[in-house]
Amino acid sequence: MKTGIVERIVNGGWGLVRSTEGIVFLTGVIPGETVEFEIKEKARGILWGRLLKIISSHHSRVKAVCPYYEECGGCCFQHIEYTFQQTIKTSIFLDDLKRIAGLERRIDRYIVSPPFGYRIRARMKPASNNYIGFIKKSTNQVLQINNCLLFNERINRFLTAWNNQKSPPFFYQYDILFNPDNEKLYVHLSHPPSTKTEIILKAYSDVVFTWKGNEQAGISHIKIGNFKYLTSASLFFQNNFFMLENLLNLVKQYLCSHDTAIDLYSGVGFFLPLLCSHSKQTIGVENSSFAVKLASMSFPEASIYNMPVEKFDFPPADIILCDPPRSGLSNIVKKKIKDRNYKSIIYISCNSATFCRDLRFFLDHGYQIKDINLIDLFPQTSHFEIVSNIILT
Ligand SMILES: C[S@@+](CC[C@H](N)C(=O)[O-])C[C@H]1O[C@@H](n2cnc3c(N)ncnc32)[C@H](O)[C@@H]1O
């Protein structure tokens, strides 16, 4: 058993404590707290600990409201008052910015969200008894969840009903989307149901079920501000419904009147109508053919290429927006952007480490940061979204 002071929280939500054996990472702590802990595991030179006792607690410590909090791998900041989560997320980002991008700079804005009930999308997995839930902390087992405080209440009604069945059918993945516009719930299943399972699904008369091969049956319209999108539970859609207009407004401040705008990783076209309203020509690039089909139907004025961004022949443009997956931009994509000397890059990222790695590349090739904002799309977790404008000097 050891004691130590939590120095800070790093990317991934881990609290860093120095011990005689080296740096130990712990969950469930807040910077400044004195804690008692044990070392659980040493893996590739990193020490992972387990919190035993809080000796002196931080004033922002609160009792987590979710009964699953101790076990569930979904949230890691519920023991921290929401306003203080902002301080911690900002410091995680500034730490990555300094360590990875070599840049010391303040952020320009931090936009907060309602702290609970914000999620309209969820990916669930089956537990051993087929009841659905989330991966348990530090395991690959699934914990049955009947109610998640981050979800819109309509998703929770479905979870409770599904998990109340005596013996639910097995699917290895459930992609759930609540559409606040038509108030319908869409559940995309990992494979087609058997005839027997189809009878079970029919009992959920207010849920639209789809599976591989019949995705078309689950297409729906969703309205954000003045823009109307087509989407489906099987595709990526921004998860925090309360923050979507804010996200568009952050991007809007970087736009003026352009000839050509490019939207890399355009998905179902979340940013396309905004780019179209400021540009004579808007080009999207996305590798999911279904997403491209829906985006082309929603925004016929945009030209959308269905291909990996790596294979795209980058044309000249005034502005390029990139919203890549967590892995960030590949070296090929970064080089293609740099070779075209785009004057303005709008980089949107949900991963601070890969964002800072990519930012370093652009700083090394004549770019500088004009604006960086954090927008909290993921309260109670250690994640946040970065919205930035990087310009050629
Ligand atoms: C973070 S999502 C952003 C989608 C969209 N911008 C939005 O806000 O809804 C990333 C998108 O990139 C797509 N994608 C992932 N890797 C890709 C690649 N190598 N080339 C093209 N698209 C890719 C995914 O299918 C997904 O739609």
Q: What is the pLDDT of residues 284-297, one digit of tens each?
A: 999 999 999 999 99
The number of the ligand 1 atom at minimal distance from the alpha carbon of 350 is 1
Under 8 Å between Cβ of 105 and 90:
no
Distances (CA, A) of 222 to 115, 116, 227, 241: 22, 21, 8, 10
User: What integer pLDDT is reported at residue 43 of this predicted model?
Assistant: 85
- How far apart CA 380 and CA 117 sit, in angstroms, is 11
Can you name the residues that pair with 10 across neighbouring β-strands? Answer: 14
The number of the ligand 1 atom at minimal distance from the alpha carbon of 288 is 25
Q: Among positive and negative, which fits the CA dihedral 237, 243, 245, 251?
A: negative
Under 8 Å between Cβ of 207 and 185:
yes
Average confidence (pLDDT) over 335-359: 98
Q: Ligand 1 center to residue 120 CA distance, Å?
A: 18
Q: Is 238 in the pocket of ligand 1 (CB under 6 A)?
A: yes
- Confidence class for position 173, pLDDT limits 50, 70, 90: very high
Whether residues 186 and 134 fall in one domain? yes
Whether residues 290 and 201 fall in one domain? no
Strand order in the sheet with 121-126: 142-144, 132-135, 121-126, 174-179, 184-189, 207-211
Question: pLDDT tens digit string along 211-228?
Answer: 998 999 999 999 999 999
Domain that holds residue 153: 121-221
The number of the ligand 1 atom at minimal distance from the alpha carbon of 237 is 9
Q: Which amino acid, one-letter code, is at 381?
A: T
User: What integer pLDDT is reported at residue 45 of this predicted model?
Assistant: 82
Q: Which of 42-46, 106-110, 202-206, 374-378 has the lowest mean pLDDT?
A: 42-46
The number of the ligand 1 atom at minimal distance from the alpha carbon of 267 is 27
**Tokens describing residue 141:** 């087992």
Whether residues 33 and 160 fall in one domain? no
For ligand 1, atom 1, the nearest C-alpha belongs to 325
Whether residues 257 and 108 fall in one domain? yes
Q: Is 287 in the pocket of ligand 1 (CB under 6 A)?
A: yes
- Confidence class for position 150, pLDDT limits 50, 70, 90: very high
For ligand 1, atom 15, the nearest C-alpha belongs to 325
User: What integer pLDDT is reported at residue 44 of this predicted model?
Assistant: 82
For ligand 1, atom 26, the nearest C-alpha belongs to 267
Q: Ligand 1 center to residue 228 CA distance, Å?
A: 19
- Average pLDDT, rounded, for the chain: 96
CATH of residue 353? 3.40.50.150
For ligand 1, atom 11, the nearest C-alpha belongs to 265
**Tokens describing residue 249:** 């407004």
User: Has residue 348 got a pLDDT over 90?
Assistant: yes
Q: Is 270 in the pocket of ligand 1 (CB under 6 A)?
A: yes
Q: Is 91 in the pocket of ligand 1 (CB under 6 A)?
A: no
- Confidence class for position 75, pLDDT limits 50, 70, 90: very high
Domain count, the chain: 3
User: What integer pLDDT is reported at residue 128 of this predicted model?
Assistant: 84
Q: Is 330 in the pocket of ligand 1 (CB under 6 A)?
A: no
Q: Is 386 in the pocket of ligand 1 (CB under 6 A)?
A: no
CATH of residue 139? 2.40.50.1070
Q: Ligand 1 center to residue 183 CA distance, Å?
A: 26
User: Has residue 80 got a pLDDT over 90?
Assistant: yes
Residue among 235, 236, 270 whose CB has most ligand 1 atoms within 8 A, to mutate: 236
Q: Is 266 in the pocket of ligand 1 (CB under 6 A)?
A: yes
Does residue 233 lie in a domain region? no
**Tokens describing residue 273:** 């109508």
CATH of residue 52? 2.40.50.140
Q: Is 274 in the pocket of ligand 1 (CB under 6 A)?
A: no
Can you name the residues that pair with 23 across neighbouring β-strands? Answer: 18
User: Has residue 267 got a pLDDT over 90?
Assistant: yes
Q: Ligand 1 center to residue 173 CA distance, Å?
A: 20
- Confidence class for position 333, pLDDT limits 50, 70, 90: very high
Does residue 351 lie in a domain region? yes
Does residue 93 lie in a domain region? no
Whether residues 178 and 275 fall in one domain? no
- How far apart CA 306 and CA 172 sit, in angstroms, is 28
Q: Is 227 in the pocket of ligand 1 (CB under 6 A)?
A: no
Q: Ligand 1 center to residue 292 CA distance, Å?
A: 10
Whether residues 9 and 47 fall in one domain? yes
Q: Among positive and negative, which fits the CA dihedral 33, 35, 40, 46?
A: positive
Average confidence (pLDDT) over 235-264: 97
pTM, whole model, 2 decimals?
0.96
Q: Ligand 1 center to residue 287 CA distance, Å?
A: 7
Does residue 88 lie in a domain region? no
Does residue 234 lie in a domain region? no
Total length of the chain:
393
Whether residues 198 and 275 fall in one domain? no
Under 8 Å between Cβ of 37 and 4:
yes
